[in-house]
Amino acid sequence: MKTVFFAEDEPLARDVLRDAIYAHPGLRLVGEAADGASALARIGTLRPDVVFMDIQMPEMTGLEVLRQLDYLPQIVFTTAYDQYAVAAFELHAVDYLLKPFTRARFADSVARLLDGARSERAAVEGALVRASAGPAPLDRILVRDRGRIFPLAAHEIEYMKADSKYTVISARGQHFLVRIGMSELEAQLDPRRFIRVHRSALVNLDFVESMRADDQSQLQIFMRDGTCIGANREASRLLREMAI
């Protein structure tokens, strides 16, 4: 029997996972967490055999949690995102469950866990090493919107704004609402072009019309589409240092 921990911030998804784990004779639930920081602390203490890990959570992402663990449990990612979000980070875990998943799909995932194939664990280790080394910047992302999928070249993205669990992507004169954290997208974008100017805003410098300091000496960034985005103190300092 394998000990199991899961990290999931959505209450309904937690209930589904908890019930599925309790119902499986090969698993024993030892703990759960609703945010990344709590998950890191509890996993380090409990050291479960298996972790069901959500990708996007408050405090820390699932990837950030895994990078800081001092041992490697078997990992199954649970995600509400499409396959692009998983492929983007090259995280070949034992399995991933695309929410909402069926009980049959959960059972199939557990069967892979209980097999305990060494090749699968080696794949996880290799993927984490590659991720920690820093993947090449994304050239393109696939965005779902109103039942359609739009390929967007990374250089077409003008700016992003965080909105609760969603990220608003501005590109081609449109706004796309996606269910993936801005931090996860930022990690895959070219830092020479994209800069985080605020906790909830990321801009593509190619689409900046001009910048002007406000009364607190923090920069106001004027985008080509007329949007004004305020930069925080650190970003303002960095942008001033970049100016010649």
Q: Which residues of 166-185 are buried (b: 16+ CB within 10 A; e: fewer)?
A: ebbbbbeeeebebebbbbbb
Mean pLDDT of 38-56: 92
| % pLDDT > 90, the chain | 38
Does position 100 have pLDDT exceeding 80, yes or no?
Answer: no
Alpha-carbon distance 197 to 212, whole Å?
14
**What pLDDT was estimated at residue 207?**
96
pLDDT score recorded for residue 27: 93
- Please report the pLDDT score of residue 162 as a whole number: 87
Whether 112 and 104 have beta carbons less than 8 Å apart is answered as no
pLDDT at position 81, please? Answer: 61
Q: What is the pLDDT of residue 132?
A: 46
Give the global pTM: 0.49
Q: Is the pLDDT of residue 138 over 70?
A: yes
Which of these ranges, 5-9, 81-85, 136-140, 225-229, has the smallest mean pLDDT?
81-85
Coil, helix or strand at residue 187 = coil
Range from 55-59, 140-144, 158-162 carrying the lowest mean pLDDT: 140-144
86 CB-contact burial (10 Å; exposed 0-12 / middle 13-18 / buried 19+)? middle
H/E segment holding residue 128 = helix 118-133
What's residue 58's pLDDT? Answer: 86
Measured in degrees and rounded to the nearest 5, phi and psi for residue 135 equal -70, 165
Q: In the structure, what pLDDT confidence band is assigned to residue 150 with cuts at 50, 70 and 90?
A: confident
Task: Please state, as a whole number, how many other Cβ atoms lie within 10 Å of the Cβ of residue 26.
Answer: 14
Q: What is the pLDDT of residues 53-98, one digit of tens each?
A: 888 888 888 878 887 888 888 888 887 665 434 443 444 477 777 7
Residue 168 CA to residue 3 CA, distance in Å, equals: 38
Residue 136: its pLDDT value, please? 58
Do residues 63 and 37 make contact, with C-beta atoms less than 8 angstroms apart? no
Find the farthest-apart pair of alpha carbons in the chain and give their distance in angstroms, rounded.
Answer: 65
pLDDT at 123 (0 to 100): 46
Under a CB-based contact definition with an 8 Å cutoff, are residues 171 and 186 in contact? Answer: no
